Amino acid sequence: MNCPIALALERVGEWWSILILRDATHGITRFDGFQKSLGISPNSLARRLGTLVHAGLLERRRYSERPPRDEYVLTEAGHAFRPVLVALYAFGISHFPPEEPNVRLVDKESGTDVDPLLIDRLTGHPLDEEHATFLPGPSADDLLRAALERRNGAS
């Protein structure tokens, strides 16, 4: 598969994995912390942590030899997942707002809630439909190529 979205979802597509990355972003690093936060079974958690380590999103670090205990910390790739979490947060707050959110995204200086917006690093333009679009890449098949051309108004 040559789709960047599909390749990313292979590594983080399970909702438990995304929630583990969310918790790691919030500073949870230990197995029991993830388990308490998520209410996930130990076997499922161990599998998902192993998958995230194998994918290079988390790193396993030994913090106790006796008994042997590990913590799981974000790698560079794990930290790079933060904008995805922010986008999911913004989507959730906008379309499925909880009555009492357990977390808020705020400006560090003022403490006021922020309204996330994805922008292009080079132009500063928002990545909305007015300013950005998907085009077929070199490996696009005919179906995708035709759909994107229709979407973008090409004949």
Report pLDDT digits (tens) over 72-111: 999 999 999 999 999 999 999 889 988 998 999 999 999 9
What's residue 155's pLDDT? 46
User: Residue 154 — very low, low, confident or very high, per pLDDT cuts 50/70/90?
Assistant: low
Dist. CA 30–CA 63, nearest whole Å: 10
Question: Helices 82-95 and 15-26: crossing angle, nearest 10°?
Answer: 110
Dist. CA 89–CA 21, nearest whole Å: 13
Give the residue-averaged pLDDT of 125-150.
Answer: 92
Q: What residue ranges do the domains of the chain occupy?
A: 4-80
- What's the predicted TM-score (pTM) here? 0.85
Residue by residue, what is the 3-state secondary structure of the chain? CCCHHHHHHHHHCCHHHHHHHHHHHHCCCEHHHHHHHHCCCHHHHHHHHHHHHHCCCEEEEEEECCCCEEEEEECHHHHHCHHHHHHHHHHHHHHCCCCCCCCCCECCCCCCECCCCCECCCCCCECCCCCCCCCCCCCCCHHHHHHHHHHCCCC
| Architecture of the CATH domain 4-80 | Orthogonal Bundle (1.10)
